[in-house]
Amino acid sequence: KERQTAIEASSQEGMVLSLDEIAVKKGHQYETVLMDARAGSVMGMHADRQCDSAINLLSQNILSKEMVQTVILDMWEPYHKAVRALFPSASIVIDKYHVVQKVTQALDQARKEFSPWKKARYLLLKGCEKLRKDQRLRLDDILEEYPALSIAYYLKELFRDFYRTDGYNEAKERLEEWIKLAKQSPFASFQEAANTLERWKEPILSYFLCPYTNARIEGTNHKIKNIKRRAYGYRNLERFRLRVFLECTGNTTGSQAA
């Protein structure tokens, strides 16, 4: 009853939903998790991460489709297809951490082409402003010795600046500029990342109109994994979902759930 009241209150303001998957068993067995991003509450779970499953999950747990304003997703196409089918007027926002991860992975692939610097992974992937003075000096030496690697590092740092942009129009210009530079780079990993970002450009830029992320659902997914570990796994997934419901609705305290 408390959960239903919270969902109704959230619906009156316009709902912001998060949709993500969590691995429940080995062999690519997933559960899709639906969350109220504002309330921080799990609204439901459904087997696998295909389009039909996402449609069933969303249809069963959303009181009013017209009240859904924003849906936060990663770049998994079946989720986008389901959201577009059910909520054609909602704004889709791709979680910025998944986008940055694509660029960081591209740099990591480029780094592996320079065998002497396999141990420099931390220095290259870490944000420049978070490095100590001695670490920055060592990084400068590496980039000076390998100019091609400095191109990859520059592209990564330039993309991090993209998410610090104020305003949609400036962000659009910066993203288009980055895609152009990445396509011209000598690294296949950055060219592939540029093609991916170009494909998802509009929902990526939607972040600057609706600045939401999947940070809360990622934290909840970590809690769900701990629930599974604590029980040494669940053979009955309905009981697993019930346990998640008890502990992750945002309206049930730990003592009540226990």
Confidence of residue 257 (pLDDT cuts 50, 70, 90): very low
Residue 58, pLDDT above cutoff 80: yes
Interval 2-42: pLDDT, tens: 666 665 665 556 788 999 888 877 766 888 889 888 877 88
Among 34, 33, 39, 37, which residue's Cα sits nearest to residue 2?
39
Interval 65-80: pLDDT, tens: 788 889 999 999 999 9
Q: Between β-strands 68-73 and 91-94, what pairing exists: parallel, antiparallel or unpaired?
A: parallel
- Would you state the structure tokens that stand for residue 183, as one six-digit string? 């396509």
19 by Cβ neighbours in 10 Å (0-12 / 13-18 / 19+) ranks as buried
